[in-house]
């Protein structure tokens, strides 16, 4: 969910005492988890496709764990990079204005 859809929730959390860094961390962790999960699913689909293609083409399958680690790292980095700005926006919301939103 985007920050604008959860403005009221953020306002409630901040009104009861959540710190900016806690809200920032929450949104950043959510972004990283979602992008990492997407990366894992993408890696699984790619591995299955490679196994089927190598069987169909009758060529040997060569497994390279460094490529998989690179793909997973890249997907987690995308979560950090594109999750930071919305997380920072959420952390800087004024609790009273966030509660009025909707």
pTM assigned to the model: 0.80
* Alpha helices (runs of H) in 5-64, residue ranges in sequence order: 7-15, 20-57
Query: What confidence score (pLDDT) does residue 92 get?
Result: 86
Please list, residue by residue across 39-57, b when 16 or more beta carbons sit within 10 angstroms of its beta carbon and e when fewer do: beeebeeeeeeeeeeeeee
One digit per residue, pLDDT tens: the chain, 102 residues?
Answer: 577 788 888 888 888 988 888 988 888 898 899 999 999 999 999 999 999 999 999 999 898 999 999 999 999 999 899 888 888 888 888 888 878 866
- Going from N- to C-terminal start, the domains of the chain cover 4-100
**Could you tell me the two tokens for 96?**
């009273």
Yes or no: say if 89 and 25 are a contact pair by the CB < 8 Å rule.
no
Query: What confidence score (pLDDT) does residue 90 get?
Result: 83
Can you tell me the distance from the alpha carbon of 77 to that of 56, in angstroms, rounded to the nearest whole number? 34
């Amino acid at each position: 969910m985007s920050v604008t859809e959860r403005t009221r929730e953020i306002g409630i959390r901040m009104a009861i005492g959540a710190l900016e860094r806690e809200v920032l961390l929450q949104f950043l962790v959510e972004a990283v988890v979602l992008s990492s999960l997407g990366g894992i699913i993408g890696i699984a689909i790619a591995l299955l496709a490679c196994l089927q293609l190598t069987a169909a083409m009758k060529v040997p399958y060569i497994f390279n764990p460094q490529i998989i680690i690179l793909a997973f790292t890249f997907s987690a980095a995308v979560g950090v990079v594109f999750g930071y700005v919305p997380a920072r926006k959420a952390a800087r919301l004024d609790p009273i204005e966030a509660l009025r939103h909707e």
